[in-house]
Amino acid sequence: MKNCMRGNCGHCEICQVRLLAEHQQTQAAAVSVEKMSADLWGETTPKKENILQEADRLTSGARREEYGDTKKSLNTIAVLWSPILGREITGREVYLCMIQLKVVRQLNGHKRDSLVDICGYARIGEIWEDG
């Protein structure tokens, strides 16, 4: 590709490099302004959610809406598991078994997701127990 030698055509190699550098500088400046603003107002840089916060968000928000009523879901799972296990299963047993499934996965190697799921199933258990 031929260079325009002026650095403003936007199509040649020189212009492409210049545009990329300007974009990276703009992004860096935006991050810097955001940090200065947070410092000015005494805010801290947002931190990653801990596992309890994530589990609460997942069991209280969109996922709960996506999967439907918690007690109804646990009861449906219990009905489906009962013939397989040869006895009547309760919603309580379902959430306790799901916690144990995640514990076993965690024993096979640490995965943050398994810990989030353990907390999530404990939250589902709380919903079950609270009626």
Q: Are 100 and 115 in contact (CB under 8 A)?
A: no
- Statement to judge: residues 76 and 126 lie in one domain: yes
Q: Which pLDDT value is given to residue 115?
A: 96
Please give the residue that has the higher pLDDT: either 31 or 54.
54
- Statement to judge: residues 90 and 40 lie in one domain: no
- Statement to judge: residues 40 and 61 lie in one domain: no
- Statement to judge: residues 40 and 68 lie in one domain: no
pLDDT digits (tens, 9 = 90+) for 38-60: 556 555 545 789 999 999 988 88
pLDDT at 98 over 90: yes
CA distance 124 to 48: 23
Q: Which pLDDT value is given to residue 118?
A: 96
- Statement to judge: residues 8 and 38 lie in one domain: yes
Q: What is the pTM of this model?
A: 0.62
CA distance 46 to 83: 48
- Statement to judge: residues 61 and 123 lie in one domain: yes
- Statement to judge: residues 25 and 58 lie in one domain: no
pLDDT category of residue 1 using cuts at 50, 70 and 90: very low
pLDDT at 22 over 80: no
Cα→Cα distances 68→16, 74, 95, 116, Å: 50, 10, 15, 20
Q: Are 8 and 19 in contact (CB under 8 A)?
A: no
Domain enclosing residue 37, as ranges: 1-46
Please give the residue that has the higher pLDDT: either 61 or 37.
61
Please give the residue that has the higher pLDDT: either 10 or 49.
49
- Statement to judge: residues 59 and 88 lie in one domain: yes
- Statement to judge: residues 18 and 82 lie in one domain: no
- Statement to judge: residues 16 and 61 lie in one domain: no
